[in-house]
Amino acid sequence: METRLTLEEFRKIWESILIKASDEYETPPEVIRIEGTTISTLGNFSASTGKGKSRKSFNVSAIVASALTGRKILNYEARFPEGKERILYFDTEQSPNHCRTILRRINKLCGYPEKMDDDRISFAFLRERSTLERREIIELALNTEPEVGLVIIDGLRDLLFDINSSTEAAEVIGLLMRWSSQYNVHIHTVLHLNKGDDNLRGHIGTELNHKAETILQIKVSEEDENISEVSASLVRDRKFPPFAFSIDEEGVPVLEENYDFAPKPKRESFNYEEMPEEEHRKALDKAFEGASKVGYSELIDRLKAGYEVLGFGRSYSILTKLKTFLVEKGMIIKENKKYLYNREFGHVQDESDQNGIVS
């Protein structure tokens, strides 16, 4: 076989790739965990996967926000070593406007002002760049940013010309392995699943399965389309317990506490718009027991407890819609940032009906 290496080049490479029993290596820093399970280390790469509209980017936003704050967000706990605290975020699919929305979402998750520019994160949109330019831009950014610890590539497929090329898939996964090792970063990328099954797309998906440190799968709940479930499709450490999140009225992901992953029997229909007023009154009497004015978060918790009395336990996202319905119908009154129970709702209408008045 004809080679491109000179003998001298081969000798240098050979010495650099030999492993000896006497060698000593540092354990790579563990930088992202879920419930005590390590899912990310420096010098490796991982992925979020899922079908379209499964909220993969929301999941990635939580990872980034945890890395910026050092706080637990959703179930992610990120800690990067001193000197490796910067983040590069590359989006290959979305418009500048959508990318800005993601960046503002990250700020909200961090508890920062929505329009604040944090110099620890550089967010670049690559949609208008060619495939080769995207690879080169990422490489040059890594080469000039030694303090970067986390790299997000939202749209791995767009680093390839042909998703069905096994040769090109191996080349791109080779880039991820080299970049993560050479620049001592953790790369987290995003790849879609096939529409017809839960397999990763193309040869790049096969290569990712073989080489990634962790693959997270995000899927829409079969019980509630407003909830996304996160589980481990692949993890080198022990598997972590799955968790779920929904999107609140601020457009940020929130953890669904005590979400039940067990298969569920078909639940009784809960059409709050068709529910009799007396049923709403029973639920609201319970919800506002011992309270007059409550804030938004407390209101949602109280609505959950109140409607569970009727056998209608529902998710955060459904409860936020219920809250909007109750305010529109005057059953709950909003004053400034507080909510009050209108215990007289329906009474005025009842009196009008009795007098033959139709409004």
Strands 214-220 and 227-235 come out as: antiparallel
What pLDDT sits at residue 358?
30
Confidence of residue 317 (pLDDT cuts 50, 70, 90): confident
10 Å Cβ neighbour count for 129? Answer: 16
The domain 277-354: what is its CATH number? 1.10.10.10
- Judge whether 162 and 168 are in contact, CB under 8 Å: yes
221-248 residue pLDDT tens? 988 888 999 999 888 878 899 999 999 9
Token pair 């096994």 is found at 166
The predicted structure's pLDDT at residue 270: 74
Q: Is the pLDDT score of 348 beyond 60?
A: no
Whether residue 350 is predicted with pLDDT greater than 50 in this model: the reply is: no
Cβ–Cβ under 8 Å, residues 314 and 283: no
Residues 6+ apart with CB under 8 A from 250: 108
Q: What angle do CA 82, 84, 49 make, to 5 degrees?
A: 130
Give the Cα separation of 121 and 124 in Å (integer).
Answer: 10
**Length of the chain measured in residues:** 359
Q: Answer yes or no: is pLDDT of 359 > 80.
A: no
Q: What is the DSSP letter of 88?
A: E
Cβ neighbourhood burial of 124 (10 Å; 0-12, 13-18, 19+):
middle
Q: Tell me the DSSP string of 6-31.
A: -HHHHHHHHHHH---TT---PPPPEE
For the segment 58-68, what is each residue's pLDDT rounded down to a tens digit?
999 999 999 99
pLDDT reported for residue 195:
67
Query: 3-state DSSP call for residue 348?
Result: helix
Q: Give 335's strand partners.
A: 338
Query: Any idea which residue has 């990763």 for tokens?
Result: 200
**Domain-by-domain residue ranges, the chain?**
27-255, 277-354
Is the model's pLDDT at 351 over the cut of 60? Answer: no
pLDDT for residue 242 = 94
In terms of Cα–Cα distance, which of 223, 219, 215 is closest to 55?
Answer: 219
- Pick 357 or 263 by higher pLDDT: 263
What pLDDT, in 10s, does the model give residues 164-210? 899 999 999 999 999 999 999 999 999 988 666 666 767 888 888 88
pLDDT of residue 203: 85
Q: Helix, strand, coil: what percent of the chain each, to 5?
A: 35, 25, 40
The residue with greater pLDDT, 222 or 348, is: 222
Fold of 27-255: Rossmann fold (3.40.50)
Instruction: Give the SS3 label for residue 257.
Output: coil
Residue 85 — pLDDT band, cuts 50, 70, 90?
very high
Q: Residue 159: pLDDT above 90?
A: yes
* Residue 7, phi then psi, degrees to nearest 5: -60, -40
